[in-house]
Each structure stands twice: as C-alpha cells, then as structure tokens.
Amino acid sequence: MNVDEQSSVLTFLNSKIENIPKFHSAILPKLCGGDRVVDLLFYKPLSYVDRSKSLPDAQVGEFTTFVAKVYEHQRPTSRGRPYRVIVESESQYLFIVFFNYSVKYLYKLFPVGTDIVISGKLEKFAEHWQITHPDYMLSDINLFKEIACIEPVYQLCRGITNKSIRNIISSNLKDLPDLPEWIDETLIKQKKWLNWKESIIRLHRPSSLAEAEVCRERLAYDELFAYQLALKLARENHVKKEGKEFIILSKYKEQVLNELPFQLTNDQIRAIDEISERQKSRYRMVSLLQGDVGSGKTVVALFAMLNVVENNMQAALMAPTTILAEQHYNWIEEALSCTDIKVALLTGKTARKERKIIMNELASGILNIVIGTHALFQANVTFKNLGLAVIDEQQRFGVIQRNRLVGKGENTDILFVTATPIPRTLQQAMYGDVECSILREKPKSRLPIKTVIMNVKKVSDIIQRLKDAINRGEKAYWICPYIEENEELNIAAAEMRFQELQKTFFDRVGIIHGKLTQEQKDQVMFSFKRNEFSLLVATTVIEVGIDVPDATIMIIENAEQFGLSQLHQLRGRVGRGNKPSFCVLLYDNLSKSSYSKLKIMCESQDGFYIAEKDMMLRGSGDILGTKQSGCMEFKFADLYEDRELLNLAYNSAKGTIANFELLLDIFEYRSRLHFSKFQ
C-alpha cells in the first residue's frame, strides 16, 4: 500500500460518523469514545444473543426464532393474570405471554390465522412452552433471516437502542477499506484468524459465537502488537540514547548505612545493586521499583539518588501530595544528616522567599537533592545538571506531567516507584521491557495486620472497642466508599458516619475526603499526626503513602464495594509502628463472590498475590485506574484473559524491532489507526 492509499484509508477511518439520526448525534460519540468512523467500528459488543436456533432445537432459557401461525387469543380470567396468545409452529403449540398489554394492540399485532416471526427466550411453565414478552414480533416473514442470527449487544444509555447502534454500524461497514496484513502469516494460519477488515465486519455480524471470539482475539492481538511496538520504538528513540556513565564508588553509601536505625532486607540490598548496575550503563536508565506496602521503597530510591550526587549531578523526587513529599523530605534529611549533601523541599506551600533560594540553588548546582510535588515541573524551575528523576506513585501523574520533570535534564535517568503491586502481565503491557526491581520482603519490625470480616449490624460493638483503644492512646481510620449519602444506594457515606461518630468521640474525630482542597487535606492529616484527634473518617484519599506510626486500627465500611488492591492499600495505612494492628472489613449485603474477595484479604498480606487476584476479578483497567494514570486503555484486549496474546505480541515486537527502518512506516500507519493518543 503506497502513501496515497494509506492516506485515503486514514482519511476514511478518521472521518466523522455518517448516517446518525440527529437525536443520537450527541449520545453516540460518548458511548464510542469519539465521533470518528474508527471509534464506531472499534465499539466492541458487550455480548451476543444467539437467535439462530429453531424452536425444536432450543432448550429452556435459550433464545429461539421461528415463524408461527396465530391460533387463539386467551384473555385473563381475573385481574392481574397474564394475557396469552396461542401460536402454532412446526406442529407445536406455545403461549406468547404479556403482563402489561393493550388488548387492541395485541389483536392488531396477532390477527388469528396469520403468520408472524417471533424471537425470544424459551420458558416452560407447568407443562406448557411459552415466551414472555418476545423481543421481536414481526408480520413480515421476509425478515426471518435478518432476525435469526447472532445479535451483538452493545453498552447503551438512555436515548439510544441496540437496534439503532447496529444500524449505524452497518451503514458505516459498507465502505470499510482493506489494510495490508502485518501479522506473521504462520501465526494467522495457526490461530485461524481472518484479515483485519473481515475481523471488524464479523465482530459486528458474526455467523457464530465462536467466530465472534476469533475476530475479537485477532483485533486484540493487533492492539497489543501495536502498543508493544510503540513501547519498543520509544525505547529505541528515547531511552537508548547514550549519555553519561556513572561511576559507582559508594562514597555516601556506607556513611548512610551506618546511621540507619534498621537493617536492609535482602530484597532492598538486591534492588539497590540492580539499580546501581543500570545507572552505570552508558544508556539512559528507565527503571521501575515495585514494592508492597511497607517494604521500604524510599530507602532504595535514596541510594539511587546518592549514586547521582557522588557523580556531581542532581536528583529530584516527585510525590503526588504535599504531605507525602514532606514525609519523604523529613526522613531523607534525617538519613543524610551524617553527610554534606544538601536537600530541600519544594511544594505549593513553600514560602516565596524560601522558594527563590531553592530555585537559585538548583540552578547553580548548590542543591544536591530536591523533593517536592507538582511544583517541581513548573516552567521556572531549572536544574544545573539533573541526573535522576524519581517519580513516586507514578500512576498518579499523567504522562505529560512526568515528562515535564524528566525534560529538565539531558538524558535524565528515571526511576518510577509504585506501592501498588502490578501483576506481571499488566507490567509487561504498561512498560514493555522496562527493567524492574521488586520488593516483596518486609522489614522484620513490621508486624502482620490481623484482618477480620464483620457484619455492619455489629457496628455498636465495634464503636465500643474503638473507644477502648482510643482511650489507650491508639489511633484509627474509618473508611467509607462515598462522601455524601445517596438515597438510591444503601452505602456508607463519610459525612453521615462522621456525624454519628461525633456523638461518641466528640472533637476526637476528624474527616477528610476528595471535596476538600489539597491544603485542607494536608491540614487534616497534619492534625491527625500531631494527635489533635484520634479517629479519622475518610474516603480513599488516604489510600497511598500516609505514614502515621501510632495508627493501629483500620475499619473499612461496605468493604465489598472496593477492589482487592484498594483494600490492601488502605490496610497498609496501619501496622507501621511496633504495636499489633487490626483491619475490620464491614459488609452489608455480601454475595458469594464478594465473600470470596474479602476472604482473600483475611488469608493473605502479599500485595502481589492480591493484585493478581484483583486483576482476575475486576480486569486490568481498574487496578491502576488507567483513565487517571495516562496508561493505555484497550478496546479489544483483556490483559488477564489474553495473557498468551500479550506474550506473543511482546515477543513478536522484540523480533520486529530489528528491522527498525522498515518498521517505522508501517508502525506509524498502524499506530495512528489503533492509538490516536500516540499522534
């Protein structure tokens, strides 16, 4: 395919969706995620209904489509009873049942003696076969083939029907162009895949459920392959640039190690060595440090920063909140008190006079390490020689935000840090072959957190025990899923629970939630740390990074509403001191699957195991919150179900990258098709 043909295809796929009724023009783009033809064609059905079975072949609970002759109308004998129309098909009689009906309408729809196409779910009541409120009742027998098919079911919203979406998609499939094949021919034969065009068409018009899955799988592979190539090309063009080579002399390492009030774990020692080796490379380092809650990630990041400082360069650590940045600063400043290294804190709260001094010292190189928030990547912040950017809780920053900080140096090394354990599959999808160090082991001083499941009806008993604990000088969190009460949902709201707890704890209880400004949130947390109150009612804003060592109790109300990884992160806010800690998971209505989820929390404190289970239960997108983190959202691929496809795409991309020049043209074209975010 030449350049003109490529341009023609992209023009068509990026053109506005046509044939949309005016009253759907505002709704459909919201459902599809855009108003282009490609957005519409990539709008994957949620499920399919098999209407192809004839009446004799269908079982109870299955859908069936057939032509029947109307035999008789049976009006109900008493009020509240259903209206029945008896029809005959292939020497078999069955009832068509209606509960909300207009007699006049039903006589018009079902004239006795006429043939009619019926499609619906087959039921058996007493000895009679029946269909209640059929999905289709058509007098035009010629429409039978159109109805007796595999019908795609799309996600809907008020104002648009499934039929409307099918019709709009069908009208846009007519002019769908061919694309040159880019998948290995052997793999296509092995997987029995159709080409790209046929896969799109058959996804929306499959001849069988098996065919629909084959088409989804093919398109999922396209998506994963394009994304893996993007990661590898970015690495070739951006990461693998030759730059500085650090000489690791460990000038400060021994000094700091001797001053630490604890021994490093084996995992920490290994991670420090791994990152040091990567820093010695002549290529730019882009590394990921994953650590379970309380595994000591900040210590590892500190030693990476020390390597930079001893090579006469600067390091920056960026955290998502002021309180977390201050927490890091206080610990690092104390750890480096035995050295001549100069550290500063730069946040939105930093006074103007102090900010000016810090910025001057950064620009002149006097300042070795700066710790801060979003303030670090502001345009007027200049470094003399930024050698390493440590991004803490990196998924909480967008891609552009991270790049603004990294761009303040030349070929700056990057160390991403996350306390959210990422399953291997998701890590591979998000980062490709970015090198990763993992901290599973926790310091010996960390005591396990006893976790129990309790019915919310026992809340009065819990409050009494909480009262006893607070009187002993302990602190506690009480987590609610929502901020305000919702009449439609019987789910705990932080503001209501706060008011209830005030009756018992008076001014010893505080509240924090997402509607507060960042300054207000920080003030509440500082007050909690300073013992101005002992019980903190909160939403998930306290999920990551807050370190209050004397907090020993975590109560999570409506725990069934949270994902496993989120529950694990919340639980990690306690158990940070030397006292036994507890986590109480309160539930209201507990389904079998919710009970299994909460049971995992009671049985395991391994964040990586919990993350795998969470991905299996909820899917990949919900674990890190991909919309907020800037990670790619996949339309066809499920990173848990399609693990094998991801490995195939990963390995194929690895082999393809060798043909770098040849790859650039085809990749640019396919990536623009699959991922407009890369443009």
In a domain, 433, yes or no: yes
The whole-number pLDDT of residue 67 equals: 95
Residue 140 lies in a domain: yes
Q: How far apart are the C-alpha atoms of 361 and 453, rounded to whole Å?
A: 53
- pLDDT at position 678: 36
Domain CATH code at residue 472: 3.40.50.300
Instruction: Please give the single-letter amino acid code of residue 245.
Output: E
Instruction: Answer whether residue 371 shows pLDDT above 80.
Output: yes
pLDDT for the residue numbered 651: 81
Residues 361 and 427 in one domain: yes
pLDDT grade, residue 634 (50/70/90)?
A: confident
Half-sphere exposure of 464 (CA within 13 A, CB side): 4
Q: Would residue 362 count as lying in a domain?
A: yes
- Within 10 angstroms of residue 108's Cβ, the number of other Cβ atoms is 10
Stretch among 213-217, 493-497, 589-593 having the lowest mean pLDDT: 589-593
Question: Do residue 557 and residue 480 come from a single domain?
Answer: yes
Per-residue tokens: 227: 């994304």
> Given this model, what pLDDT does residue 624 score?
42
What per-residue confidence (pLDDT) applies to 677? 40
pLDDT at 4: 64
CA distance between the termini of the chain: 21
Weakest-pLDDT range from 455-459, 486-490, 552-556, 610-614: 486-490
User: For tokens 């065919």, what's the residue?
Assistant: 211
Same domain, 306 and 378: yes
pLDDT, residue 394, reads 54
Q: Does residue 195 sit within a domain?
A: yes
Regarding pTM above 0.85, the answer is: no
pLDDT of residue 288: 87
In this prediction, residue 215 has a pLDDT band, given cuts at 50, 70 and 90, of very high
Mean pLDDT of 455-461: 91
Element (H, E) at 290: strand 286-291
Does residue 582 sit in the same domain as residue 497?
yes
CA gap 379, 373 in Å, rounded: 14
Give the H or E element holding residue 497.
Answer: helix 494-505
On the question of pLDDT at 571 being above 60, the answer is yes
For residue 630, being part of any structural domain is answered with no
- Directed axis angle between helix 643-656 and helix 424-431, to 10°? 40
Poorest-pLDDT segment among 228-232, 294-298, 368-372, 633-637: 228-232
Which residue has tokens 């010996």? 444
Which DSSP string corresponds to 91-149? TEEEEEEESS--HHHHHHHS-TT-EEEEEEE-EEETTEEEEES-SEEES-GGGHHHHSS
Q: Is residue 210 domain-shared with residue 348, that is, in the same domain? A: no
Band of pLDDT at residue 489, cut at 50, 70 and 90:
low
Residue 275 and residue 397 share a domain: yes
Neighbours of 457 (CB within 10 A): 10
- Domain holding 77, by residue range, is 52-148
Q: Lowest mean pLDDT: which of 210-214, 346-350, 501-505, 541-545?
A: 541-545
The mean pLDDT of 494-516, rounded to a whole number, is 90
pLDDT in tens, 28-80: 888 888 888 888 889 999 999 999 999 999 999 999 999 999 999 998 888 87
How much is the pLDDT for 23? 75
Q: Which residue has the higher pLDDT, 672 or 596?
A: 596
pLDDT reported for residue 434 = 73
| Residue 38 pLDDT | 86
Predicted local distance difference test score (pLDDT) of residue 546: 65
Write down the mean pLDDT value for the chain.
Answer: 84
**For the residues 536-549, what does the mean pLDDT come to?**
77
* 407 & 509 share domain: no
Q: Which of 604, 631, 652 is the last residue of a domain?
A: 604
530 in any annotated domain:
yes
Residues 253-288: b if buried by 16+ CB within 10 A, e if exposed: bebbeeeeeeebbebbebbbebbbebbeeeebbbbb
Query: Do 468 and 488 fall within a single domain?
Result: yes
Residue 618 has pLDDT above 80, yes or no: no
Identify the pLDDT of residue 46.
Answer: 92
Looking at per-residue pLDDT, the higher value among 343 and 182 belongs to 343
Higher pLDDT, 631 or 430: 430
Give the count of domains, the chain.
4
Look at residues 439, 472, 490 and tell me which one is the last residue of a structural domain. 439
- Classify residue 33 by burial, with Cβ atoms within 10 Å: 0-12, 13-18, 19+: middle
Of 58-67, 369-378, 581-590, 631-640, the one with minimum mean pLDDT is: 631-640
Q: Give the pLDDT score at 10.
A: 73
Neighbour tally for 478: CB within 10 Å? 26
Lowest-confidence range among 338-352, 399-413, 620-634? 620-634
Give the burial class of 518: count Cβ atoms within 10 A of its Cβ; 0-12 exposed, 13-18 middle, 19 or more buried: middle
168 burial via Cβ count (<10 Å: 0-12, 13-18, 19+): buried
The C-alpha atoms of residue 512 and residue 625 are separated, in whole angstroms, by: 21
End residue of a domain, out of 128, 148, 168: 148
Closest CA to 132 of 105, 97, 101, 106: 97
Task: Please give the pLDDT value at position 295.
Answer: 86
Residue 238 has pLDDT above 70, yes or no: no
- Evaluate whether residue 41 is within a structural domain: no
- Are residues 365 and 409 both part of a single domain? yes
Contacting residues for 30 by C-beta, under 8 A, at least 6 apart: 157
Say what the pLDDT of residue 77 is. 83
Residue 77 three-state SS: coil
Can you give the pLDDT at residue 499?
Answer: 92
Q: Is there a single domain that holds both residue 554 and residue 593?
A: yes
Neighbour-count burial of 487, counting CB atoms closer than 10 A to its CB (0-12 exposed, 13-18 middle, 19+ buried): exposed
Nearest to 188 by CA among 671, 662, 654, 648: 648
Alpha-carbon dihedral angle through residues 564, 566, 569, 575, given to the nearest 10 degrees: -70
- How large is the average pLDDT for residues 640-645? 82
In whole angstroms, how far apart are CA 392 and each of 277, 298, 396, 397, 590? 21, 9, 9, 9, 35
Residues above pLDDT 90, as percent of the chain: 43
In whole angstroms, give the CA distance from residue 156 to residue 174: 23
Q: Which of 58-72, 502-516, 619-633 has the lowest mean pLDDT?
A: 619-633
290 and 229 within one domain: no
> What is the three-class DSSP state of 202?
helix
Place 626 in a pLDDT band, splitting at 50, 70 and 90. very low
Q: What is the pLDDT at residue 679?
A: 37
In a domain? residue 628: no
Residue 57 sits in a domain whose CATH number is: 2.40.50.140
Q: Is the pLDDT of residue 589 over 90?
A: no
DSSP 365: T
* 501 and 386 within one domain: no
* Tokens at 229, concatenated: 């190539």
The model's pLDDT over 400-445, given as tens digits with 9 standing for 90+, comes to 555 667 677 788 888 988 877 776 666 666 666 678 899 988 877 7
